[in-house]
Structures are given as C-alpha cells and as structure tokens.
C-alpha cells in the first residue's frame, strides 16, 4: 500500500481516519489470505512535544539519539503502542538515521526548518502471515 496521508502537524486524527478508511476499503476488495502487507509512503506523522519538552527534544535531536527521540515524541510510534490500533500487527525496522523532514540541504550538511518539528514522515511498515516472515536488512534515508 503506497500512501500519502493528510499532511500538517495538527492533522493527527485525520491521518488515523485515513488509515481506517484505507484498511476498510482493502478488506472489502481482497479475497483470501495475504502473505505480506507493506505500508509505505509519506505517512506524515510528526514529532510532537509540548512547549516545556522542547529543550529535551532538541537535546535528543542534536545527539542523534533517535531511539529515545522516537519513543518519546513520534506520533506514529506512540499510536502503534495504543491497544487495538489499526497498525498493531505491523513492524518497522529501528530507525537509525536523522529525521528527514523538513530540512534544507547545505554545502556542509543540513539544517532543519524552524517552522515545523523535524520528523520521520516517510516510513515503511510491514507484516506477514503466520506461515511467512519478512526480514528487513537495511532501513535508511537517501540524500536528495
């Protein structure tokens, strides 16, 4: 499933509804068992923090401590931890690269936009049936 969910930080609930609608639609269209499902694209989930958490967020971002950054602030990761969510049986390889949204490429590196929170918006999630398995050998960002 290649998707481009509703953009903008404030549209979290719209993204959840997008996913619900997509999965309801394909449930009616697919006959029989499915061995693999891949959900890829611009899922548009953002890093979200309260004003009093900004210092901690920036500290984790500058240290490239993605595991803690994602665990605490990533909307998609937090949603997937909720009971009975639409993505409960999907997996994602651990992210070990810097946020890819939204930055400006410079000659000597990159800088993040000051207007929006740096985030991991482009994602790949996957699941397999009980008789098959998926192994993700690499998960990285590409420079453009």
Note the pLDDT of residue 51: 66
Mean pLDDT of 79-88: 93
pLDDT tens digits for range 87-140: 999 999 998 887 887 776 667 766 676 777 788 899 999 999 877 889 999 998
Q: Where are the beta strands (DSSP E) in 13-72?
A: 36-42
The predicted structure's pLDDT at residue 98: 78
Residue pair 136/38 in contact by the 8 Å Cβ criterion = no
* DSSP at 47: B
Cα 15 from Cα 123, distance rounded (Å) = 14
Task: Find out whether 137 and 131 touch, Cβ atoms under 8 Å.
Answer: no
Classify the C-alpha dihedral 45-125-16-78 as positive or negative.
Answer: negative
Helices and strands, counts by H and E, the chain: 4, 5
* pLDDT on residue 70: 74
DSSP three-state, residue 103: strand
69 burial via Cβ count (<10 Å: 0-12, 13-18, 19+): buried
Domains of the chain: 2-128 (3.60.10.10)
Token representation of residue 114: 């000051």
Q: Which residue has the higher pLDDT, 18 or 56?
A: 18
pLDDT at residue 44 is higher than 90: yes
Give the length of the chain.
144
């Amino acid at each position: 499933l290649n998707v481009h969910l509703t953009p903008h930080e404030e549209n979290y609930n719209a993204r959840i509804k997008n996913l619900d609608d997509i999965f309801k639609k394909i449930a009616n269209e697919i006959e029989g068992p499915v061995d693999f499902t891949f959900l890829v694209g611009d899922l548009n989930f953002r890093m979200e923090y309260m004003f009093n958490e900004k210092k901690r967020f920036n500290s984790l971002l500058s240290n490239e401590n993605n595991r803690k950054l994602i665990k605490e602030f990533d909307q998609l990761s937090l949603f997937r931890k909720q009971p009975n969510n639409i993505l409960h049986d999907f997996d994602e390889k651990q992210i070990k690269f810097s946020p890819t949204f939204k930055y400006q490429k410079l000659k000597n590196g990159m800088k993040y936009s000051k207007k929006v929170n740096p985030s991991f918006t482009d994602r790949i999630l996957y699941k397999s049936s009980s008789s098959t398995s998926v192994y993700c050998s690499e998960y990285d960002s590409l420079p453009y």
